[in-house]
C-alpha cells in the first residue's frame, strides 16, 4: 500500500514540471497565432492585389470598348453623310434605288463587322477581368490543399 500513497502524495508534486508544461503550451499557442496571422496577412495582401488588378483591368477594358463604340458611331455618321450627299446628286429614280441598295448592303456588312469587333472586345475584356480573380481562387485552393 505504501506505493499507492507515494503516487498520490503531495510530496511527489513538482511545480517546476507544471510551470515548464504551461510555458511550452503557451509558447506553442503564441507560435500558432503568429503563423495564423502571417497566413491571414498574406491572404489579405493577395486579395488587395487581386482587387487592384481587377479594377485596373476594368478601367482599361471599359475605355477600349468605349473607344470602339465611338469609332463605330463615327464611321456610321460619316457613311450616312456621304450617302446623303450622293443622294443629292441623283438624277433618276433608278439611280436613287441603286445608291440606296448599295448603301444598305454596305451598312449591313459594316454593322456585322462592328458587332464582331465589339463582341471580340467584350469577350477579351471579360477574360481579362476574370483572370486575376480566377488566379487568386486557384492560389487559395492550392494553399488549402497544401495545408
Whether the pLDDT of residue 92 is over 80: the answer is yes
DSSP code for 89: T
Give pLDDT, residue 108. Answer: 95
Give pLDDT, residue 48. Answer: 83
- How far is CA 22 from each of CA 17, 33, 127, rounded to the nearest angstrom? 9, 16, 54
Whether the pTM exceeds 0.75: the reply is no
- How far is CA 34 from each of CA 5, 29, 41, 79, 143, rounded to the nearest angstrom? 44, 9, 10, 67, 17
Give pLDDT, residue 14. Answer: 64
* pLDDT, tens only, 10-52: 556 666 676 787 788 888 888 888 888 888 888 778 778 888 8
Q: What separation, in Å, do the N-terminal and C-terminal C-alpha atoms of the chain show?
A: 51
* pLDDT, tens only, 72-82: 999 999 999 99
Mean of pLDDT values over 48-57: 82
Q: Where are the domains of the chain?
A: 15-146
At 19, list the grid cell: 510551470
Amino acid at each position: 500500500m505504501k506505493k499507492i500513497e507515494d503516487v498520490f502524495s503531495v510530496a511527489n508534486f513538482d511545480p517546476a514540471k507544471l510551470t515548464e508544461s504551461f510555458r511550452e503550451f503557451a509558447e506553442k499557442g503564441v507560435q500558432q497565432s503568429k503563423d495564423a496571422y502571417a497566413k491571414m496577412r498574406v491572404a489579405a495582401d493577395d486579395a488587395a492585389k487581386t482587387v487592384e488588378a481587377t479594377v485596373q483591368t476594368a478601367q482599361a477594358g471599359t475605355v477600349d470598348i468605349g473607344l470602339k463604340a465611338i469609332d463605330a458611331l463615327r464611321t456610321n455618321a460619316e457613311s450616312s453623310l456621304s450617302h446623303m450627299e450622293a443622294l443629292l446628286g441623283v438624277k433618276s429614280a433608278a439611280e436613287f434605288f441603286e445608291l440606296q441598295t448599295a448603301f444598305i448592303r454596305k451598312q449591313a456588312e459594316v454593322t456585322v463587322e462592328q458587332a464582331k469587333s465589339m463582341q471580340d472586345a467584350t469577350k477579351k475584356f471579360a477574360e481579362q477581368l476574370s483572370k486575376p480573380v480566377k488566379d487568386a481562387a486557384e492560389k487559395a485552393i492550392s494553399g488549402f490543399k497544401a495545408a
